[in-house]
Structure formats: C-alpha cells, structure tokens
Amino acid sequence: MFTEADALKVVEKLYGFDGKRIVEMLLKVNSGKTIDEIAQETGIRVNDVRRLLYEMAQDGFVSYLRSQKGESLWYNYRWYTNSTMLKTALYRRIENIVRILRERLEYEMSTSFYVCPIDSTIYTFEEAFENNFQCIHCQSDLIEFDNRQIITYLKELLEKLRKFIA
C-alpha cells in the first residue's frame, strides 16, 4: 500500500513543487485553510494557489468545506486534505491508468495493424482492407505491423501497476 510520502511524490510530479508545499501545509492543520491564508503563509500568488487547489480537487487530492459568512451571500471556503484522502486519490489514479492500459492491451490483441513503409501511417485491418492494403497517402503496398513488442510492454507495465494496488 501507499504511504503519505508516496502520495506527496506524486503530487509534486503532477502539480509541481508549489502543489506539494500546499498539500504539506494542509496536512499539518485540522480545520483547513482559506486560499488567502495559504497564499500568505507560503508566499505563492493567490491565483496560483487557487488554480492548484482546483486542479488537485478535481483529482481528489484536496477538498473544501463551504460555510456562509453570517447572513451574507458570501461563502467561506476552507481547503483541507488528510493522509487517507491522498492515498485514496493516488489509488484511484493508478486504477484509472490500469483501466486505460487494459483497454489498450485488448485493442492491440484484437486487431492486426498495417503500416505504410514510406510514411509510416498505421492502419487497422479494417482500414487496410477498405483501401485494398494500399496507403491512402502514397498508394504504397502496406505491410503487416508486428505489435508483439507493444503487447509485451503493456503486459509488463500492467503487472507492475497491479502489484501497487493489490
């Protein structure tokens, strides 16, 4: 399973050093922080803080609580995160990658491909068949494309990722 440190590494890869700093700061507080507080305490510009928080929230790494300021129409947003939330977001992200890779693998395994030897355009069997196995750009005869290496690579990658989320 993942550690908080794993999650922070991924956060830095995805959202940069500033994203990581914001998450580290939010991990230390219990009641969350407003965008202004985060900007003041980290020195990161308000607009950048806002953009990073929205991006990270879309991926589930942070979230916010909304409260009304008295009777006014203004809302107060306090952003927060915690260890469980970070790990869950990371888990989901990897699950999503596994799903995409699996679909890609199924596609590679179920279709044969053809390639133009001149301009390297790739065709599925159906596309090649429709064009009498000739390239639509240069009319060269297409050759069958061997995708066994891609399949092997995808299988290895999936195996590694599955271990992560097992």
Minimum CB separation from Zn ion for residue 146, in Å? 18
* Nearest distance, CB of residue 129 and Zn ion, angstroms: 16
Which lies closer to Zn ion via its Cβ, residue 2 or residue 123?
A: 123
Q: Which residues pair with 123 in a beta bridge?
A: 114
Q: What distance lies between CA 38 and its chain's CA centroid?
A: 25
- Kindly give, in sequence order, each residue whose CB lies less than 8 Å from that of residue 147, ignoring residues fewer than 6 positions away: 108, 112, 113
Residue whose beta carbon is closest to Zn ion: 135
Give residues in contact with Zn ion (CB under 5 A): 116, 118-119, 135, 137-138, 140
Alpha helices in the chain (DSSP H): 4-28, 35-42, 46-58, 83-110, 125-130, 148-165
Contact 44, 22 (CB under 8 A): yes
Supply the minimum distance, in Å, between the C-beta of residue 136 and Zn ion.
Answer: 8
CB closer to Zn ion, 77 vs 125: 125
Nearest CB to Zn ion, comparing residues 46 and 143: 143
For residue 147, the minimal CB distance to Zn ion (Å) is: 19
Query: Cβ closer to Zn ion: 76 or 139?
Result: 139
CB 38, CB 77: distance < 8 Å: no
**Residue 140: which residues within 8 A CB-CB, separation 6 or more?**
116, 117, 118, 134
Q: Which is nearer to Zn ion, 15 or 114 (CB)?
A: 114
Tell the smallest beta-carbon distance from residue 123 to Zn ion (Å): 10
Which pair of tokens denotes residue 17? 């050093």
